[in-house]
Amino acid sequence: MRPETRVSHEMVSAAYCGVQILYFHGIVLFMVVVVVLLVVIYPIVISVALNGQL
């Protein structure tokens, strides 16, 4: 087994694990951003609606 093939295989497996980790963290970050947007925008929308009704 040549060393360059082993190194490239290790790099490919490491890149694959990195892509999986980035994908998982991207999902978590997306959920966090959605929750933060809901928490920030929801009271503003309610206050604007109440002020508009008043």
Higher-confidence residue of 38 and 52: namely 38
Residue 33 has pLDDT above 90, yes or no: yes
pTM of the complete model beyond 0.85: no
**Count of domains forming the chain:** 1
Residue 5's domain comprises 1-54
**C-alpha dist (Å) from residue 54 to 24, 36, 42, 51:** 45, 28, 18, 5
Residue 52 has pLDDT above 70, yes or no: yes
